[in-house]
Structures are given as C-alpha cells and as structure tokens.
Amino acid sequence: MKLRRSLAVAAAVAVATPVALFAATPALATGMSTAQTQNQPTYAELVRAADDAKEAYEEAVTVKEVALKKLRATVDALDSDTHPLKAAVLVANKAAQEATAAQAAAEKAVAGAEAALEAAEGDTEKADAQQALETAQADLTGAVEAQRKAGAEAKKANAALSDARIAAAREYSLVQDAPATTLKAKEAADAALAAAKECVRENGLTALAVGLPSEVAAGTTTGFTLRVTNGTDRTLTVDPLAFVHVEGEGPHEKSRLEVEWSNGSDWQALTGNGAEHIAHIDVMKPGEQHDVKLRMRAGSAAESGEAFALFAGDASDAYNPCVLGPMKRYDFTLLPTGGKPGPAEEAEPGLPGDDDDKRPGAAKPGSDTGHSAQGGGTSEQAAATGTDTDGNLAETGSSSTAPAALAGAAAVALGAGAVFAVRRRKATGTV
C-alpha cells in the first residue's frame, strides 16, 4: 500500500534527521566544518525528505477521508433491514421472542394442570388431571429447549452484526491517527529544510579586487582582476557578486560606469543598474583560487566625483543553498576627461557597512549563469585592459545574470549615496 511506504519515509525523516536541524538556524550562522557535516543530511536529501513527508501527510489525509466514508457507508448498510446480517438478527430476535412467549404459555399450562390435579376428585378425574399435567410438563420442556436454541441463534446473529460494526471501526482506526502522525513528521522535515536554507557565513570565501586604481579618468578604460579564493574547507559552487556605482546615482539608475567581465572567450556586460552575479564557478575546492578579468570605462562626458565597487563571494554547497562570504567595498575617484591620475595606487578594500550581508538585488547564489570564471588555479597575473580599435569597450549585449533574489534593505541603500556617504570607510580588515 502506497500509504505505508509514505508513512515509513515520514517516520524515517522524523527519526533520522538530527534534532539540531529541526530548530531554525540563525541567519548568517558560521558554516560547519567537514567533520560536522559527515553525518548531516545533504540539502538534496532534506528536500526529498520534506517532499516525501508532505506526500505522506497528504496521502494520510486522503486515506482517512476515504476510510471515514467507507465506515459510514458500512454502518449505514449494517443498519439496513435488507442487509443479510441485520435481516438474520431480525429473524433470530423474532424467533427468540416467540419461543419466550411459548415457554411462558407452557409454564402457565403446567401451573393450570397442577391446579386441576389438586382439585380433582375421584380416581378417574385424578388420572385425567395427572395425564394433562404430564403432557403440559413435556410441552414446557420442549418450549424451554426451543427458547434456549432461539436465544442462542439470536445471540449469534447479534454478535455477527456487532462484529461487523467493530471490524469496520477497527479498519478506520488504523488510519485515523495517520494525519496527526505524518503532520509531525512533515513539520520536522520542513523545519530541517528551513534551517538548511538559512544563509551561513564563511569568512574564508573572499572576493578581492586586484589592480583597481584609486583614481579613474573619464574617457579611459581601466582593467583589473577580481580574485576569488575558497579559503574554507567546503567544496563550493560560487557566484561572485559585483556592483559598481557612482555616488549619487539612484538605486535603480543605470550607472555611468560601463563594466564588463571576461568568460575567457568574450566579454559580458554588467547591466549597471544593480548588483549582479558573474563568472559562475561550478566546482571550487578548498584552497582553490579563480581570477576574473574585468574592465571599466567612464564615458568622456562623465562628471568628476566619487564612485565605489562592491565585491563578494556568494555560494552554495551540498548542505546549504546560501553560503555568503564577506563583502568588500572599494572607493575610488572619478576624474574629468583629461584628468591626470596620481601615482598608480590600488583602491583599498574597506568595510561596506552594517548591512554588508544584505546583498543587493542579485541572482540567488548557486544559480548557473552559463559562464565559467576566466582563468583559475593560482594565477597572479592581473587582468589586461581590453578595447576595440576606437578605444571603447566591446559590445557584448545583455547580462547573463539570473533573476533577482536575496533582495534586502541594502538594495535600496546601494546607489542612494546618502547611506553610503555615512558608511564610507577606508579601514581594511575582514567584515
């Protein structure tokens, strides 16, 4: 029976899933070590367990409803005079009643014969009375036996009807509590899955800019590298997060800075109006490092001012669909066309602010953009500047990032200027 299999799965989830997973994990909890995850169900297993528990619960509800209808139909049928068992009861009860009445009549006849015998006079009258008494006593004996048999038949018929009712009720009782039982298993499986969905913090997953200057002149193209390092003990699927904006631009206003990243064969353009995941890395083992080439151009008409870039590593693994590395903010100055940048100094990574983990409206970590990170291994080479024959960034078409997710309060704050003007810091360190 399919219900039994589903109930077994649900029960297994309730028993096998660690109790710790049933409690909601605090957001951005520190990631577990490899030793801690050895006996932990994978995220895929938790999804399957939750699906199985949901199926078991829904099936239990359906089976209970069907069983209740069947019970009511059976009871109604047993109560019908046309049902064989009920008809047998009616016949047996009537026969028992008639036998009881016959016995009562026979007992009355015996009493009458005994009275007649006492009142008889003479030998002939007494002999006749004695004969009548013996006949009445024989009839009473037969009536008593008939009443006993009729009573037994009635008892048997009534017991058969009662057993049928009890059997119907017992069959229903087998599934009566199944919804409550499977609901507990479902709630436990859902809680475990919800806990696994909570974002966990991995400070060892870093995304740092290499070669991004502290000053950029309008009309020029600047190349730099985003270096992603998996300094955790997890094997991760990583989606580096990038956001480049000019102070004062609105939260959804297209940036005056044109930014592209290389997938190794061509250039992909950032939309410029929100944070985006780039250079999807399907498998990144502990200790591995990937370099992603980027290039940025400020149009010749761009005004001077302050700008910033945000980079972070968003990832997932077999146990958590949301693993967040620390976000770094890089402040740099936009110079007008013809402006002369000072000595080549790289922008220093700073702390983006209290809401650094409230990622801007970018694709969910782990989503495959269809592009692999450029380069890999432990390459130390900075990205080269790429321009066309006119000195402009190459045309690349639309961005390949996934739909927006993980939107937070910072999605509005980023680009609003006022908030980040307060948050701007030059201090370095790990968030």
Question: Would you say 392 and 318 are in contact if contact means Cβ atoms under 8 Å apart?
Answer: no
Res. 353 pLDDT band, cuts 50 70 90:
low
Tell me, what's the pLDDT at 103? Answer: 94
In whole angstroms, what is the distance from residue 162 CA to residue 386 CA? 90
Q: Please check the confidence at residue 321 and state whether its pLDDT lies above 90.
A: yes
Tell me, what's the pLDDT at 245? Answer: 87
Q: Please check the confidence at residue 167 and state whether its pLDDT lies above 50.
A: yes
DSSP state of 202: -
Q: What is the mean pLDDT of residues 352-378?
A: 45
Q: Please check the confidence at residue 430 and state whether its pLDDT lies above 70.
A: no
Long-range contacts of 187-190 (CB under 8 A, 24+ apart): 188/13, 188/14, 188/17, 188/22, 188/53, 189/10, 189/13, 189/14, 189/17, 189/46, 189/49, 189/50, 189/52, 189/53, 189/54, 190/50, 190/53, 190/54
Top pLDDT among 243 and 401 is at: 243
Q: Please check the confidence at residue 170 and state whether its pLDDT lies above 60.
A: yes
Tell me, what's the pLDDT at 146? Answer: 94
Question: Would you say 79 and 130 are in contact if contact means Cβ atoms under 8 Å apart?
Answer: no
DSSP SS3 for 312: strand
Top pLDDT among 382 and 281 is at: 281
Tell me, what's the pLDDT at 264? Answer: 86
Tell me, what's the pLDDT at 57? Answer: 96
Query: What are the structure tokens assigned to 51, written together?
Result: 């699906």
Q: Please check the confidence at residue 316 and state whether its pLDDT lies above 70.
A: yes
**Which residues have CB under 8 Å from 397's CB, separation 6+?**
269
Top pLDDT among 6 and 50 is at: 50
* Cα distance between the two ends of the chain: 55
In whole angstroms, what is the distance from residue 357 CA to residue 217 CA? 31
Q: Please check the confidence at residue 347 and state whether its pLDDT lies above 90.
A: no
Tell me, what's the pLDDT at 382? Answer: 32
**Cα–Cα–Cα angle for 292, 221, 230, nearest 5°?**
15
Q: Which residues of 29-51 are buried (b: 16+ CB within 10 A; e: fewer)?
A: eebbeeeebeebbebebbbbbbe
Question: Would you say 358 and 401 are in contact if contact means Cβ atoms under 8 Å apart?
Answer: no
Question: Mean pLDDT for the chain?
Answer: 76
Q: What is the mean pLDDT of residues 383-405?
A: 33
Q: Please check the confidence at residue 377 and state whether its pLDDT lies above 60.
A: no
Tell me, what's the pLDDT at 313? Answer: 95
What is the percent of the chain with per-residue pLDDT over 70, rounded to a whole number?
69
Q: What is the mean pLDDT of residues 149-153?
A: 95
Question: Would you say 230 and 287 are in contact if contact means Cβ atoms under 8 Å apart?
Answer: yes
> For residue 405, which of 290, 280, 321 has the smallest C-alpha distance?
321
DSSP SS3 for 321: coil
Residue that has been written with the tokens 């955790």 in this structure: 232
